[in-house]
Amino acid sequence: MRGLRERFPIFEHTTYANSCSQGALSVDVRRAYEEYLAGWDEHGAEWEHWVERAEAARAAFASLVSADPSEVAVTTSVSQAVSALVSALPLERGRAKIVISDLEFPTVGQIAHAQELRGAEVVHVLPEDDGTIPLERFAEAIDERTALVCCTAISYRTGYRLDVAEVARLARERGVLCLADSYQAAGAVPLDVGELGVDFLTAGTVKYLLASAGLAFMYVRSGLHEQLLPTQTGWFADEDVFRMDVSDYSPAHDARRFDSGTPPVPNIYAGLAGMGIVQEAGVEAIEAHVRGLVDELLAGLDELGATVVTPRGVGDHGPLVCVRSTDPEGLVAALRERAIVTSSRDQSVRISLHLYNTREDVERILAALGECRGLLA
């Protein structure tokens, strides 16, 4: 992974440990933006090439999650994807319940509660005091009235890694659709939609896929394409994009029916570059590399007497570690003064490691936290 680190200039002067918010900028992504601008400057509207780039991004993400490209929608955000999905749920036909966990990103919860305007009932699955969610909690919440179960692969708030496959199994046994928001997992841990058994999986490129905001994807299981008819749509979701027919609604026959308007072309260039780095490194190798770093980080935090919010059981965490602080914003600022970039959520400082981080980074972070021990809870 050290060879890849050299492609991220920020490490020349900063210890970057904030991939849970934004992946570090690579020379590859910067070059991709320059390629987009150069083509625009030279040729003007390169629509045929831009559409091809969007299809290349669709295929790249499909490869990362072991799906077929026809099962992937290209969107500008997970918010757009989930909004299109719930717009296709026939909530008025008896299944009007949406189950979410309390560890979801606000997007999922806010969109779910917006469906209360359509008569939906939203049920929250609560975590235990240790941050884990027993599967029994999901089992109790899912019943014959449930239209959709939402879960998050890795929580942005705590770093907890949920057993998505088991949640999907519970939903499937009850004939209920299951959505896994995997934004904090894609590019950091292996995701195979077949093995997970989910009906939908969302992710985007701003975090561990190492690109920018403004590009996201949604896997939609092939057997559902014709069953779900979104009412939130756009011209790139049409069966024939360039027919330009204003007189009807003819959605694509595959997951592209969940696309929307003009694709985010600049972000697609960047997304392909970022996902290319992840594919080059290999997600399994990334996970193994980061697991070793996280183990060292956790051991050092224990020596400091820090309170780790992230559950510590086998398989309960990924690349994100949350550490309780008496003043999380103050601690983030103190670390930044020491050229270490982290972030905060709730009462914790978030430290997230990726393919470009090293043992030396972990040692610097631990040394800095030792100097700021008074801000640890």
Structure tokens at 321: 């570690």
Name residue 228's amino acid: L
**What pLDDT shows up at residue 48?**
86
Query: In Å, what is the CA distance from 196 to each residue of 144, 162, 190, 254?
Result: 22, 11, 10, 21
User: CB of 97 within 8 A of CB of 138?
Assistant: no
Give the integer Cα–Cα distance in Å for 71 and 201: 10
How much is the pLDDT for 92? 75
Residue pair 179/195 in contact by the 8 Å Cβ criterion: no
- Domain 29-278 grouped into CATH 3.40.640.10: yes
Residue 246: count other Cβ atoms within 10 Å of its Cβ. Answer: 6
Alpha-helical (H) ranges within the chain are 2-5, 27-43, 47-64, 78-87, 106-114, 135-141, 164-173, 193-196, 265-281, 283-304, 328-337, 359-371
Give percent of the chain with pLDDT exceeding 90: 91
Residues of the chain with pLDDT under 50: none
Please tell me the pTM assigned to this model.
0.96
Q: Answer yes or no: CATH 3.90.1150.10 is held by domain 2-25+282-375.
A: yes
Reading the block at residue 287, the tokens are 């996970």
3-state DSSP helix/strand/coil % of the chain, to nearest 5 = 45, 15, 35
As a whole number of Å, the end-to-end CA separation of the chain is 33
120 DSSP assignment: -
The sign of the CA dihedral 252, 254, 259, 265 is negative
Rg of the chain, C-alpha, whole Å: 21
Residue 114 near residue 137 (C-beta atoms within 8 A)? no
Number of other CB atoms surrounding residue 251 within 10 Å: 19
**CATH 3.90.1150.10-classified regions of the chain:** 2-25+282-375
Residues composing the chain = 377
Nearest to 231 by CA among 115, 113, 146: 115
Please list the residue range(s) of the chain that carry CATH number 3.40.640.10.
Answer: 29-278
pLDDT in tens, 277-294: 999 999 999 999 999 999
- How far is Cα 223 from Cα 226, in angstroms, rounded to an integer? 7
Q: Which among 303, 308, 279 has a CA at the least distance from the CA of 205?
A: 279
The arrangement of strands across the sheet holding 343-345 comes to 320-324, 348-352, 343-345
Amino acid 210: pLDDT = 98
Please give the pLDDT value at position 245. 84
